[in-house]
Amino acid sequence: MSDTVRTALIFPGQGSQEAGMGRDAAENNKEAMELWKKAEKISGLPLRELYWDSGDAVAMADTRALQPALTVVNMTLWMEYASKFGSDSVCCAAGHSLGEYSALAAARVLSPEQTLEAVSIRGQLMADADPDHIGAMAAVLRLDLQQVETIVREAAEDDCLNIANYNTPTQIVVSGSKPAVERILGLAKQSKGRAVLLPVSGAFHSPMLRNAAEELKKVLDRLTWNRPVFPIYCDVTGCPAMDGESLRDLVSVQMTSSVRWMHIVENQWKDGVRRWIELGPKGALTRMVDPILRAVDSDAEFEARNIGSLAQMQD
């Protein structure tokens, strides 16, 4: 595709962590290494030791460490991308859950230091939100949205249960109390679909995180929210926002709201985006673009590319 094609940045969130992430960029860029050091100071955790040397998958999945570490990786990849292609090479950005904070940093809504402060506190709050482990999440596969909405209503009964992530037309994540999520497993199977429990520490993106969200809002309210240099398509609405105050308000309720990723990509397509560049490990969001757009336009022509390391930046 032409270099002039409208390009969206997309940033992954929790679940995209991997051993060694961000090391190549940090060892080749002093500014990137300084970001790791700042993240360690703000979070109080030995992030480089954990992600570069330990190989401990359980520890790397701990949201207290994961949120600042993955955000550093996403931000340093954006620094490299902007240096190589220019910040004006993209027309908008979005991020999946945690990844939305990387989008805020890329669009200069928050400074790197404020972004790291926010995600470090967010990670701690989310880790502590469910000490009794009464919440759970599950991915529902091979059922369309209407079918998922039907079994969510049936499974909820008197328990908390809602759609947490609208990922693709046939990949929906539900969140709520363990009994309700466990009922989803059986109902999905009865409907010729499949549901898989996710290895998370709570019912993220559900009302069960209300107290944690209220504490995070206090932090977000004291940060400086600048006007973005390009629009950010927000998880809560799926639509673009172009002023700092609106972004602050939307991010403040993100933790208890659904992530409307499918709607974000659909709206970006309608607004003329034809290339998606995912900056972050694993490429989960890159793989979502095709099924989302095929449901909108079976003949859609687009490019979706994952850049998770310096080596991929050079390809």
Q: Which residues are catalytic?
A: 97, 205
- 312 CB-contact burial (10 Å; exposed 0-12 / middle 13-18 / buried 19+): middle
How wide is the angle at C-alpha 309 spanned by C-alphas 307 and 311, nearest 5°? 95
Strands (E), the chain: 7-11, 92-95, 135-141, 161-168, 171-177, 194-197, 232-233, 240-241, 275-279, 303-307
Residue 28's alpha-carbon distances to 38, 148, 228, 290, 309, in angstroms, are 17, 46, 28, 33, 12
At residue 135, what is the residue type?
A: G
SS3 162: strand
**Checking DSSP bridges between strand 7-11 and strand 92-95, what pairing results, if any?**
parallel
**Can you say how many angstroms the Cα of residue 128 is from the centroid of all Cα atoms in its chain?**
19
How far apart, in whole angstroms, are the C-alpha atoms of residue 71 and residue 277? 16
How wide is the angle at C-alpha 209 spanned by C-alphas 204 and 212, nearest 5°? 120
How far apart, in whole angstroms, are the C-alpha atoms of residue 108 and residue 228? 6
How far apart, in whole angstroms, are the C-alpha atoms of residue 113 and residue 43? 11
